A and B are shown apart, each in its own frame.
Chain A
Amino acid sequence: MLEVRDIHTYIGQFHVLEGVSLSVPKGSITALLGRNGAGKTTTLKTIMGITPPTQGEIVYDGQPIGGLPSFEIAQLGIGFVPEHRAIFRDLTVRENLRLAERNRGDFERKEDLIFNLFPDLKRLIRLRGTNLSGGQQQMLSVARALVPDNRLLLIDEPTEGLAPVIIEQLIEAIRQLSAETTVLLVEQNFLVAQTLAEYYVIVEEGQTVKHGMMADLAEDEETIHRYLGAA
């Protein structure tokens, strides 16, 4: 579904990605793991075309997408749920969802699916983004990526700073939607990543250092300790 080969990305003068490679098989959830500042978020932004790569290849569905403007990448069917949610404060929940439409009527077609996953949003539909709690904003951010027919979702730290109840709800939602959509998930909380993902990729200092099946990683305490700092 998505192949990233040896990408290098600069932010200003900083060489942030120094050779990240990863592969996301169709229909799977792949977790992108690593410590703070390892380059996980930049990897997602590079795939999304927000910080274009200076070197390397990104192939989505057999088509090279490295260097395309981010709106064209999104139009190919890639949804982005960024870190810190990036909900539009001045727009209502409905407008936030409508904005994500790529064709007229997308929202109406997906309304049931979205409100099944996140029943709270239905009640909040007229509220402005600025009035939502962190958890509600996160739900809206995920829901927004579901409005158009995306085939790949890039989700960045969905559980950061949220209450356990909400985290459970989000895990369930991501699990459900992964039945139809491929997901590349950045997650600091190893337990969450372990619960959801089938595959993992670990980045360290802007480079891919390890990848494989999540089931194997769960038993490899040394790797977890060394690269993720978790026990």
Chain B
Amino acid sequence: MEWLLENRTRLLTLGILIVLFLLAISGMPAEEWVITALRGLALGALTFLVAAGLSIIFGLMDVLNLAHGELFMLGAYMGWTIYVRPDTVIDGATPFLLIASLLVLVPLLTRWVRSLTLPDLVDKIWPWVGLAAGIGLLVFALFQYPLSTWDLENYAQSPISNAIAFETGTFQSPPPAEFEASPVLVIGGVIVGSGLLALAAAGFSARQTTLRQPSPTQMRNIAIVSGGLFALAFVVLAINNPLTEFMLGLGSTPRFFIAMALASVTGALLGWTIEVTMIRPLYDRPIYQIMLTLGLGFIILELVRAVWGRPEFQMPRPAVFAGTGEGCPATSIGDLVQYQCATIEVLGGRVRMYNEVFIIIVGLLVLGAVALLLQRTRLGMIIRAGVQDSEMVEALGINVRQVFSQVFALGVGLAALGGVLAGPSLGLSNGMGARVLLLALIALAVGGLTSFSGAAAGAVLIGLLQQFIIKYGQIGINVPFMAEPFKPSPPLVPASSVLLMVVILLILPQGLFGRKE
């Protein structure tokens, strides 16, 4: 009873939303509203994957990561590359692993640099010289490195053509790229270049007085990781051709799942790197952090434009969701499994398996997994406590900064997963990040900024609202005293979510699930 009284505004708002939903579907044939609702839920699921990370990061760390949308987009492009062009990824893995193996050594090198005594002037200048030399050498070596990839200048070899060829099953991967210069020199250049870069980074970080020394166990672990990455780089190089053939020989379905997993993990690693190197030094200056993430978003956008080009292109659906021949659209689950249909008939309407079912399932799985993580694990307990008072969590003896990095990695990993998932449904475009970020921010405001369940509810609401407005744009709403049905025009779609946000914030300033501070 007390709970009911306490939450009456919230319950009333939810009640009104449900009534509005019922009104919205009352004039519609069942198959249409079911499909529209599924589309709304799918859009909600994608928005949720971005909003979830945003909300946990904001709640725990007070960092509004404005680069989150672009990281979603980067995830989509990375996923596309792993999916359509695994040969490129495998070729690029060796230099990537080599660079990473040397950069992880920075804490050890910092320790060593600190023990040096150099003349003042040399001490000031050498990291800059190292940085310039390292970048120069690395860029030079990487341009010599053989990479079998697409060609933005040549339409037949562009990502657009690659995607079409992949979908029609006519994709021919180019012959394996060969070293033109001496392999020893090129690989040596990558190693020396990234070594110089790591040394320069150590030179800069040695200047920070507050930096803590790594413990002996940490130093041992760093050395093991670095050695492992270094060795792995050469293993990948040695088995490059068989590995490429194996990946290209896999069906599109396993490749798609590999792409989802690999892009999420890469996204998480990227998130971890961003937190440790850029966000961490700025916890005392929140405004700088916001500017940093905003700038980072632009840099990622330009990077994507430089590597994958500006035009939009498709990410073909995996085969298991693409069948159109005999037995399709499926009328039963049995048919669906047997013929791997792209669509299934529900109440006489056709529901697309990937866009309207699979995305929702993944969204639900992530929702469940993150909810379990938050409620059942120690990390989740620390996150929930830290959202309220991270200072006190630290005073209990918990290294909150380390948890910050993990949470940032988790958030970016989820966004990258969302990007890959969105690929086959929305296609890949330079604008997809900004669009989803706007939706996610609105979802957060609607749901309550730091509430994880609020992020989920807000995302679903926004998704449903947008899809129903689109639907009514097609069929029109019968308004009394008007001869023609009213058809909401397309610009009303984004405007409607902002309007919903305004209305909800007027009634519930903390959002649906937010809490008064």
Q: How far is the CA of A18 from the CA of B133 in the complex (A)?
A: 48
Decide: B389 and A71 in contact? CB cutoff 8 A. Answer: no
Decide: B385 and A91 in contact? CB cutoff 8 A. Answer: yes
Q: Contacts A86-B389, A86-B392, A99-B393: A71 and B398 contacting too (C-beta < 8 A)?
A: yes
Decide: B399 and A95 in contact? CB cutoff 8 A. Answer: no
Decide: B395 and A74 in contact? CB cutoff 8 A. Answer: yes
Q: How far is the CA of A89 from the CA of B389 in the complex (A)?
A: 10
Mask for A70-106, Cβ within 8 A of B = 1, else 0?
1100110000101000101111000110111010000
| Residues from 396 to 426 in B contacting A, C-beta threshold 8 Å | 396-401
Decide yes or no whether B382 CB sits under 8 A from chain A.
Answer: yes
Nearest CB in chain A: distance from B253 CB, A: 40
Decide: B397 and A71 in contact? CB cutoff 8 A. Answer: yes
Contacts of B395 in A (CB 8 A): 48-50, 70-71, 74, 80, 82
Contact of B394 among A70, A96, A100, A148 (CB under 8 A): A70
Closest chain B residue to A141, Cβ basis? B392
Closest chain B residue to A89, Cβ basis? B388
Decide yes or no whether B384 CB sits under 8 A from chain A.
Answer: yes
Decide yes or no whether B391 CB sits under 8 A from chain A.
Answer: yes
Contact of A90 among B388, B392, B397 (CB under 8 A): B388
| Residues from 151 to 207 in A contacting B, C-beta threshold 8 Å | none
Q: How far is the CA of A70 from the CA of B397 in the complex (A)?
A: 7
Q: How far is the CA of A121 from the CA of B394 in the complex (A)?
A: 23
Decide yes or no whether B278 CB sits under 8 A from chain A.
Answer: no
Contacts of B387 in A (CB 8 A): 90
Decide: A148 and B381 in contact? CB cutoff 8 A. Answer: no
Decide: B381 and A99 in contact? CB cutoff 8 A. Answer: yes
Closest chain A residue to B382, Cβ basis? A99
Q: How far is the CA of A89 from the CA of B393 in the complex (A)?
A: 13
Contacts of B381 in A (CB 8 A): 91, 95, 98-99
Contacts of A100 in B (CB 8 A): 396-397
Closest chain A residue to B389, Cβ basis? A86
| Residues from 209 to 250 in B contacting A, C-beta threshold 8 Å | 212
Nearest CB in chain B: distance from A128 CB, A: 11
| Residues from 135 to 157 in A contacting B, C-beta threshold 8 Å | 144, 148
| Residues from 25 to 54 in A contacting B, C-beta threshold 8 Å | 48-50
Q: How far is the CA of A71 from the CA of B398 in the complex (A)?
A: 5
Q: How far is the CA of A100 from the CA of B396 in the complex (A)?
A: 6
Report which A residues bind B (CB closer than 8 A). 48-50, 69-71, 74-75, 80, 82, 86, 88-91, 95-96, 98-100, 102, 144, 148
Report which B residues bind A (CB closer than 8 A). 212, 378, 381-382, 384-385, 387-389, 391-401
Can you report 9 A-B residue pairs in the complex whose CB atoms are below 8 A from each other? A48-B395, A50-B394, A71-B399, A88-B389, A90-B384, A90-B385, A91-B381, A96-B385, A99-B378
15 additional contacts (CB under 8 A) given A90-B388, A91-B385: A50-B394, A69-B394, A71-B398, A71-B399, A80-B395, A80-B396, A86-B389, A88-B384, A88-B385, A89-B388, A90-B384, A99-B381, A99-B382, A99-B393, A148-B397
